[in-house]
A and B are shown apart, each in its own frame.
Chain A
Amino acid sequence: MPDSLPPIQGPASQPGRDLDALLSGEAGYPTVVLGPVAGALDALRAAPAPDELDGEAAARAAFRLFMLPEPELAGGAPAPVSVLQAAVAGEGRPDRPGATVVLPMAAPAGPRHARPRPPLPWPGRWQVMTAVCGAAAAVIVCVAALAGAFSGPAGQQARPGHPSSPQPTSTSSKRPTSSVLGTATAHPAPRPSASGRAASPEALCHEYMQFFTHPESRSTEDAVVKQLSGLAGGWTHIMGYCAKQLGAEGFPGGAGAPDSGHQPGHGGRSEPAMWWGH
Chain B
Amino acid sequence: MCLDLWLREGGQCADTQHVVGDDFERVLADAQGGNEDQFAVLWRDANPALLRYLRVLAPDAAEDIAAETWVHVVRGLTRFTGDEAAWRAWLFTTARRRLLDQARLRRRHPAEPLDEITLAEVPRTPDTAQIVLDRLATETAMALVAQLPPLQADVIMLRVVAGLDTDAVACILGKTPGNVRVMAHRGLRRLETLLGPAGVTSRAGVTL
Interface size, chain A (Cβ < 8 Å): 49
For A180, list chain B residues within 8 Å (CB). Answer: none
Q: Would B189 and A1 count as touching, CB distance under 8 A?
A: yes
Q: Would A49 and B138 count as touching, CB distance under 8 A?
A: yes
B60 within 8 A of A: no
Q: Would B36 and A63 count as touching, CB distance under 8 A?
A: yes
Contact of B43 among A16, A44, A56 (CB under 8 A): A56
For A197, list chain B residues within 8 Å (CB). Answer: none
B7 within 8 A of A: no
For B140, list chain A residues within 8 Å (CB). Answer: 40, 43
Q: Would B185 and A8 count as touching, CB distance under 8 A?
A: yes
Tell me the bound Cα distance from A5 to B188 in angstroms: 13
Q: In chain B, what residue has the closest Cβ to A94?
A: B40
For A66, list chain B residues within 8 Å (CB). Answer: 71, 74-75
CB distance from B164 to the nearest CB of A (A): 9
B199 within 8 A of A: yes
Interface centre among B16, B43, B122 (most CB of A within 10 A): B43
Known: A36-B195, A43-B141. A64 touches B36 (CB 8 A): yes
Known: A20-B166, A44-B145, A52-B48. A35 touches B63 (CB 8 A): no
Contact of A25 among B44, B71, B160 (CB under 8 A): B160
> Which of B96-104, B107-115, B127-135 lies at the interface with chain A?
B127-135
For B165, list chain A residues within 8 Å (CB). Answer: 20, 24
A9 within 8 A of B: yes
Tell me the bound Cα distance from A219 to B129 in angstroms: 110
> Which of A82-90, A160-168, A264-272 lies at the interface with chain B?
A82-90
Q: Would A24 and B34 count as touching, CB distance under 8 A?
A: no
A106 within 8 A of B: no
B184 within 8 A of A: yes
Tell me the bound Cα distance from A64 to B31 in angstroms: 11
Known: A19-B184, A23-B159, A53-B48. A36 touches B208 (CB 8 A): yes
Interface size, chain B (Cβ < 8 Å): 62
B2 within 8 A of A: no
A95 within 8 A of B: no
Q: Tally inter-chain residue pairs, CB-CB below 8 A.
A: 153
Q: Would B185 and A19 count as touching, CB distance under 8 A?
A: yes
CB distance from B126 to the nearest CB of A (A): 10
Q: Would B43 and A59 count as touching, CB distance under 8 A?
A: yes
Q: Would A5 and B185 count as touching, CB distance under 8 A?
A: yes
For B160, list chain A residues within 8 Å (CB). Answer: 23-25, 41, 44-45
Known: A43-B141, A89-B131. A7 touches B178 (CB 8 A): yes
Chain A residues near B (Cβ < 8 Å): 1-3, 5, 7-9, 16, 19-20, 22-25, 34-46, 48-53, 55-56, 58-60, 62-64, 66-69, 87-90
A-B contact pairs, 23 of them (CB 8 A): A3-B189, A7-B178, A19-B188, A23-B188, A24-B165, A36-B195, A37-B191, A38-B208, A40-B145, A43-B138, A43-B141, A44-B157, A48-B44, A48-B47, A49-B135, A55-B66, A59-B74, A62-B70, A67-B36, A67-B39, A87-B63, A88-B123, A89-B123
Chain B residues near A (Cβ < 8 Å): 15-17, 34, 36, 39-40, 43-44, 47-48, 51-52, 63, 66-67, 70-71, 74-75, 77-78, 122-123, 125, 128, 131, 134-135, 137-138, 140-142, 144-145, 156-157, 159-161, 163, 165-166, 178-179, 181-182, 184-186, 188-189, 191-192, 195-196, 199-200, 202-203, 208
9 additional A-B pairs beyond A53-B44, A56-B47, beta carbons within 8 Å, are A2-B189, A20-B165, A40-B191, A40-B208, A46-B137, A46-B203, A59-B47, A60-B40, A66-B71
